Structure 1
Amino acid sequence: TQGAILYGLMTLDQILLGDVCRTLSGKIAPVEIDDQPRFGYRSLMLDPARHFLPSEDVKFYIDQMVRYKYNVLQLHQTDDQGWRIEIKKHPRLTEKGEFYTQEELKDLVHYAAERNVQIIPELDIPGHTVAVLDAYPELGCSHTDTIPKIVGETVNLMLCANNDKVYSLYKDILTEVASIFPAPYIHLGGDEAIIETNWGKCEHCQSLMKQLGYTKPTELMNYFFGKILPVVRENGKKPMLWCELDNIRMPAHEYLFDYPKDAVLITWRYGLTPLCMELTARHGNTLIMAPGEYTYLDYPQYKNDFPEFNNWGMPVTTLETAYQFDPGYGLPASQQAHIAGVNGTLWAEAMPDINRVTYMTYPRGLALAEAGWTQMEHRDWESFKKRIYPNLSELMKRGVSVRVPFEIVRYPQKR
């Protein structure tokens, strides 16, 4: 297949990089390769919603990730800071800020496909939606629809769960999005919804709760996605969602797990991945592994590594920590059979351009690539440390900004 040939060439390229003496003399060391990926889904996520990345920068990023056998690029295209995808039926969505035209996105999809990478679009709902509410303030809850919406500054507002116009708008949006991206999934977010202060205080949502017999505003998520997900399915796609377990922290046997079985879930919250693994295995959901402890590549590799643009106290994730990631968490094979792959996230609040994005990706992205491809018994930290250097050198030759994987020691000046 195209992918097998491509990855064979990438492996050969890495062998040549790692044996420069033979390479310079035009020789290849005798080697036997018996290789296949541990997981079929190996993803990185870009966030042009926060800081827009021109198409050429996204292509540059794809060129690098494919060298390390990543085969999925998740594009987070809508958030409080911007709406970055052209919707022909609703041009008001892109009246402010930069965005991708549908033709640009189709070109990106084609460019990625030639390199065995599929692009999955993400449009976060029902929270992270100020960019939508700025264009259509009437879609907010009753007590927030008159609040001024400032894209990039106003946060924590949600789409109203009891507003037919919300579902009509997203039917149009999802239909157009499905026509642009041939990937089997549409990512709908579903994370960090501030439900109590939105739906919990909204007259319309409270009325809907009474009508449905709900006692908690969080239950309206069932109703909301019950209206949204059929549109995804009608367009031949499967839903993808963040596995959000933070609203209710309780033992797994007490947790009401309401995600539909066809939803592919991504685990991400610190400390909750074991619970998410248990619940998805029991419920029958496919799971992608992106635990914040290991795969959030927007976290600094060292403390105070570059001034933070939005310093909320990000934890440090060193290269060694990233390399320690076992996507199966050491469980027996039978308990990780529902895990489809890995995902490295690059939330871009503090990434104003592609140079910062690649700087945060590499070399930790090399550690995640190995976690997604290689069985644990064949992985070794000491070996990895030696192997990254020729690859980092090659990345820099290609104009890729990288984080040198050691902390610079500053000695006091002699007086």
Structure 2
Amino acid sequence: MARKGGLVAGAACTMDPDQPLLSPAYVGWDGGTLVEIRPPRSGDLDADGVHDRHDALVLPGFVNVHHHVTSAGLTGVEPEAQPGLGAAPPEARRRFVAAIDQDRSRALAALGFLELARAGVTTTTDSQAAWKGDRRVDGAIEAAASSGLRVHFSAAFLDRTELIPPQQQHTPDGAVQELDRLRNLFAGDRLEIEGEPLSLPRATDDLVRALHGARHRRAAMHLTYSRAFERWADETLGRRAVEHLDHLGVLDAGWLFAHPVHLDANELRLLGQAGAGTAYCPVSNLHMGLEIPDLRPLRAAGLTLGLGLDHPNGNHDVLQNAKVATIAQRSAAGDPDAWTALDSLEALTVGGAAALGLEGRVGRLAVGYAADVVVLAGLLPPVLTVGRIAERVVMAGAREHVSDVVAEGRWLVRDGAVVGSDEDAIRRDAVAAQDALLAAAAR
């Protein structure tokens, strides 16, 4: 249960333009909402629930805007072959994926959410494919509901692909019915459930329209992440992906688009006018050999931008992800000033919140915002400015520096220890699920 509490810290980098930096700082909350951000006073540490972090740095809880949490629990375990656009998976991978049931999905997702919390994430997305006739998605959502995180869950539907057996693909009407079932069972204040037509090569126009019409706030979709996707759109649709969404009449602010890698000037214009959110996943993109997009035109077009871990990227270290974003953008531009550490820290906090449509609620340490707080030990720079703090956090930080995490006033990690969850049991259950899936793949 959320309760009154607070922290006295060496410094608070708030991401709030009205009060960007306090040193030292008192951050207080009541009922899950931030109520005080101010210099410390005598007696603060005598109050119940107030903790001394005088040698540490406080930031808003991190926002992860694109992920596949169950799949991330399989890093280093699943068969290596990755299928192409719409292609049937190799047999071992098919057996492996088909063996993910509700219990195994729950076990793997629980590990992913645990590691996200340990990395300082308080708000995350999760995207999992919904198979007709099984309950794997239910397992992932059950893990989300018990994680303590704020979760924007996307049930992904596919009806133009061999990645899922045809008999287990939902029709457009069936997808909406399944989305309604999941919402009725699980949706709550901290758990949003949206539909996701996975991507244009894997979802028909009818499915895209149906899930767009069924959204509550922001539906998700994978955008043009590769040259193969770009060629597919030209050859199959006769237009570029964003132009096709505009042609369908569904391009608006109700989207969170992952992987804005291959976008031309007209697509950027359309996305900017629509007000859609975007998710850049630097480690995952580089892991898969994708090109590095220049994010400056996206910002110039007015797109909101957050950072996502995605899969494959199973260490859940959002600070290392932010570092890679910074150096990748500098390298792609050939200019060390093209992208700053503060740009990445903003994308990890206020930018991610805006991309999810949560601006004004999360992403800042400000009165009235959710009490989402991360404490980083060992990262206070000798000279305290917002720019120097961002440089230290992004370029030198890692999840090992995360000592405390509070989500809406609830402690998830305190003094480096997980609160309210049996970490050993979660890890044991995930290993058992991995072993069972490997056995299925080897048959």
Instruction: Kindly indicate whether structure 1 or structure 2 has the higher relative contact order, using CA contacts under 8 Å at least 6 residues apart.
Output: 2
- Provide the TM-score with structure 2 as the length reference: 0.46
* Larger CA Rg, structure 1 vs 2: 1
